Amino acid sequence: MTQDDFEAAKRSAASWYWWGIPTFFRCPWNEDPSQCDIALVGVPHSSGNGSTERDQHLGPRAVRNVSGFYRRAHGVHNVAPFEQLRISDLGDVPLPEAMNNEACVRDIEAYFARLDAAGARPVAIGGDHSITGPILKAIAGPGRNLSGGKPVALIHFDAHTDSYENMPHWLGAKRSAAHWAAYTVREDAVDAARSTQVGMRGHPSGLIHGGRVGGSSEALGYRVIKMDEFERLGVDATVAMIRERAGEGPCYITFDLDCLDPSVAPGVSNLEPGFGGFSIREATRLLQGLKGLDIIGGDVVCLMPTKDSPNNITAQVAMVMMFEILTLIALRKTD
């Protein structure tokens, strides 16, 4: 076989998901953020939520394994992101002190600050939900490039608000999966007055005194759309509310897979089985309704591969959410 024959054979094989070294969506592996428009990044971190199973650090590898077969163009938006933009798999954030949440939060922020300086818009896969705080701190707020120095409108899909300022730490983790939605507001990375949290549900851990579920977020300025309100509003009205609050400024999407119904995503770390969550159709329509917003980045979190079904359905759902977010960024950059 000549070198030309070898290269031709590689090109022919590259379209098959089971061939080659797995990367996100079969994208090229390139750790240099200056060489891409959209940076796909794994954040294998799971010490920010020690009250649940700890295997969330396996999420990036699971999504790489399943995403190779996924479609190349978006059937609703009629865009082919991988053809129209430079999209690379940058690998995983190095976390040498993986069991130390505060050290990991520091290292995650430093890693994504490199992307901000290069102008590469990140789409990350976690990892537990504590990863969102340092990503936001790296790319949004004063002195940050991608947000133009402004705080972002946070569009937060979750079963939980993650804004629990009533506790100083979560089993020792101070910038934890339970705190990030509060401290990012306090530290000017998130503009709560433009932000929406949607999908909250489940029984509270105790009696609620002087308020209701979501009160801590509302005190910060967030609009909280609990699951029962979403069911009354429907997809279109919810999208309209999110868009009206977000306005024309920079936005960031974080998608916790536990907002989905457990029948759709069984392999997550904080299941809420007593209350129905989003169907896959509702979730994709909500994201697709955000077309045109200035999405500067996003993440998908709380995948638990060791709890997933044999066909890896939760990993596949995480892949879909990641694709929807990167497509929204691609739409904005190709307008």
**pLDDT attached to residue 215:** 78
Domains of the chain: 22-334 (3.40.800.10)
**pLDDT attached to residue 313:** 98
**pLDDT attached to residue 206:** 61
Tokens of 253: 């999407």
**pLDDT attached to residue 165:** 78
**pLDDT attached to residue 335:** 73
**pLDDT attached to residue 261:** 97
Cα–Cα distance between 335 and 330 in angstroms, integer?
9
Mean residue pLDDT of the chain comes to: 92
Tokens of 182: 């509060």
Cα–Cα distance between 271 and 111 in angstroms, integer?
30
**pLDDT attached to residue 199:** 97
Cα–Cα distance between 131 and 217 in angstroms, integer?
19
| List of residues 6+ apart from 333 with CB closer than 8 A | 37, 38, 85, 121
pLDDT beneath 50, residues of the chain:
207, 210
**pLDDT attached to residue 82:** 95
- H or E segment to which residue 255 belongs: strand 250-256
Phi, psi dihedrals of residue 233, rounded to the nearest 5°: -75, -45
Tokens of 61: 């590898």
CB 334 within 8 A of CB 85: yes
